[in-house]
């Protein structure tokens, strides 16, 4: 694992920092630091997995609410097939788009 000397980001890349592009990387695995100083897991991974499941719909509750929302919004679109307008209401008293 490498730590950027400029921004402090931890990464597995040995070429350059993925955040700032700096090539000033410190190899933490070859330093004299104890193994207890290094993180054993990636911070925020559990939150990322939970968010991914919400986005992908693996969570049953999230998929049910999305399905209900899609079904209720099906007839509320202001356009139909091939862009044809479903609404013929014109509020213009004159000019382009008026019924006069």
The verdict on residue 99 lying in a domain is no
Contacts for 47 with CB less than 8 Å, ≥ 6 apart: none
**Does the pLDDT value for residue 9 go beyond 80?**
yes
Residue 21 structural domain? 1-38
The verdict on residue 17 lying in a domain is yes
The verdict on residue 22 lying in a domain is yes
CB atoms within 10 A of CB 9: 15
pLDDT confidence of residue 75: 60
pLDDT confidence of residue 39: 66
pLDDT confidence of residue 57: 73
In a shared domain, residues 56 and 31: no
Calpha distance 17→54 (Å, rounded): 30
Calpha distance 50→53 (Å, rounded): 5
- For residue range 25-80, list pLDDT tens digits in order: 888 877 655 556 666 777 888 898 898 888 887 655 555 555 555 554 456 666 66
In a shared domain, residues 22 and 46: no
In a shared domain, residues 51 and 63: yes
Number of domains in the chain: 2
The verdict on residue 1 lying in a domain is yes
C-alpha to C-alpha distances, 97 to 58, 88, 89, 90, 100, nearest whole angstrom: 46, 10, 10, 7, 9
pLDDT confidence of residue 16: 86
Say whether 2 sits in a helix, a strand or coil: strand
In a shared domain, residues 26 and 48: no
């Amino acid at each position: 694992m490498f730590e950027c000397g400029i921004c402090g980001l931890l990464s597995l890349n040995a070429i350059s920092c993925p955040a700032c592009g700096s090539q000033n990387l410190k190899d933490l695995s070859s330093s004299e630091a104890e193994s207890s100083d290094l993180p054993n897991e990636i911070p925020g991974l559990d939150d990322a997995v939970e968010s991914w499941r919400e986005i992908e719909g693996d969570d049953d509750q999230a998929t049910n609410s999305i399905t209900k929302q899609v079904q209720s919004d099906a007839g509320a679109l202001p356009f139909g097939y091939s862009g044809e307008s479903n609404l013929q209401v014109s509020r213009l008293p004159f000019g382009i788009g008026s019924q006069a």
